[in-house]
Amino acid sequence: MAQAAGVSATTASYILNGRAQQMRIAGDTEERVRAAAESIGYRPDRNARSLRTSSTAAIGVITDYVASGMFSSRMLAGANAAALAADHVLVIGETDGDPRVTQLLVSEMLDRRVDGLLFVTRTSLRLTLPAELPDDRTVALNCVDDARAVPSVLPDEVAGGRAAAQVLLDAGVRAGVVVVGVDPTPNAIAGPARLEGISGRLAEAGVGIAAVLDCDWTVDQAFAAVSAHLAAGGRPRALVCLNDRIAMGAYQALAEFGLTIPGDVAVVSFDGSELAGWLRPKVVSVELPFAAMGRRAVELVLDPDPPSQVLVDMPVQAGASVS
Amino acid sequence: MAQAAGVSATTASYILNGRAQQMRIAGDTEERVRAAAESIGYRPDRNARSLRTSSTAAIGVITDYVASGMFSSRMLAGANAAALAADHVLVIGETDGDPRVTQLLVSEMLDRRVDGLLFVTRTSLRLTLPAELPDDRTVALNCVDDARAVPSVLPDEVAGGRAAAQVLLDAGVRAGVVVVGVDPTPNAIAGPARLEGISGRLAEAGVGIAAVLDCDWTVDQAFAAVSAHLAAGGRPRALVCLNDRIAMGAYQALAEFGLTIPGDVAVVSFDGSELAGWLRPKVVSVELPFAAMGRRAVELVLDPDPPSQVLVDMPVQAGASVS
DNA sequence: CTGTTAGCGCCTTCAA
DNA sequence: TTGAAGGCGCTAACAG
Interface test with A, best of B45, B89, B243 (most A CBs within 10 A): B89
pLDDT at B33 over 80: no
CB B299 within 8 A of CB B260: no
Considering CB atoms only, which of A47, A51, A70 is closest to B113?
Answer: A47
Ramachandran angles phi, psi of B311, nearest 5°: -105, 120
Q: Which amino acid would we find at residue A199? A: S
CA A16, CA A155: separation in Å to the nearest integer?
Answer: 42
Identify the pLDDT of residue A66.
73
Instruction: Kindly report which listed range (A126-135, A147-156, B34-43, B81-90) carries the lowest average pLDDT score.
Output: B34-43
pLDDT tens digits for range B223-257: 999 999 999 999 999 999 999 999 999 999 999 99
CA A72 to each of CA A49, A124, B223: distance values in angstroms, whole numbers, following the listed order? 34, 10, 27
Residue-by-residue DSSP string for B16-67 = HTT-HHHHT--HHHHHHHHHHHHHTT----HHHHHHHHS--SEEEEEESSTT
Residues A118-157: b if buried by 16+ CB within 10 A, e if exposed:
bbbbbbbbeeebbeebeeebbbbbbbbbeebebbbbbbbb
Q: pLDDT higher for A241 or B44?
A: A241
pLDDT class of A184 with cuts at 50, 70, 90 = confident
Residue B112: CB partners within 8 Å, gap ≥ 6? A46, A47, A58, A89, B56, B58, B60, B91
Residue nearest to nucleotide D2 (CA to C1'): B11
Query: What does pLDDT average to over chain B?
Result: 92
pTM comes to 0.93
pLDDT at A207 over 70: yes
pLDDT tens digits for range A77-108: 999 999 999 999 999 999 999 999 999 999 99
CB distance B73–A96 less than 8 Å?
no
CB A56 within 8 A of CB A50: yes
**For residues A246-250, average pLDDT:** 98
Give the DSSP H/E element, type plus range, for residue B269: strand B266-271
CB A300 within 8 A of CB A144: no
Q: How far is the CA of A11 from the C1' of D16 (A)?
A: 15
Residues A190-214: b if buried by 16+ CB within 10 A, e if exposed:
bbebbbebbbebbeeeebebbebbe
Helices B99-111 and A74-85 cross at an angle (nearest 10°) of 80
pLDDT class of A1 with cuts at 50, 70, 90 = low
CA B30, CA B8: separation in Å to the nearest integer?
Answer: 12
Residues B96-129: b if buried by 16+ CB within 10 A, e if exposed:
eeeeebbeebbebbbbbbbbbbbbbbbbbbeeeb
pLDDT class of B7 with cuts at 50, 70, 90 = low
**Residue B245 CA to its chain's centroid (Å):** 18
Residues A222-261: b if buried by 16+ CB within 10 A, e if exposed:
bbbbbbebbeeeeebbbbbbbbbbbbbbbbbbbbeeebeb
Q: pLDDT higher for A257 or B3?
A: A257
CB A119 within 8 A of CB A143: yes
CA distance A134 to chain B (A): 14
Query: What does pLDDT average to over chain A?
Result: 93
pLDDT at B6 over 60: no
Q: How far is the CA of B4 from the C1' of D11 (A)?
A: 28
Q: How far is the CA of B53 from the C1' of D4 (A)?
A: 21
CA A194, CA A287: separation in Å to the nearest integer?
Answer: 12
C-alpha gyration radius of chain A:
26
Q: Which amino acid would we find at residue B290? A: F
Identify the pLDDT of residue A185.
84
Considering CB atoms only, which of B69, B71, B275 is closest to A77?
Answer: B69
Taking contacts as CB-CB distances below 8 angstroms, the residues of chain A near B280 are 223, 252
Identify the pLDDT of residue A210.
97
Identify the pLDDT of residue B301.
97
Identify the pLDDT of residue B214.
94
CB distance B92–A107 less than 8 Å?
no
Identify the pLDDT of residue A272.
97
Considering CB atoms only, which of B45, B80, B280 is closest to A92?
Answer: B80
Ramachandran angles phi, psi of B212, nearest 5°: -120, 115
Q: How far is the CA of B86 from the C1' of D16 (A)?
A: 52
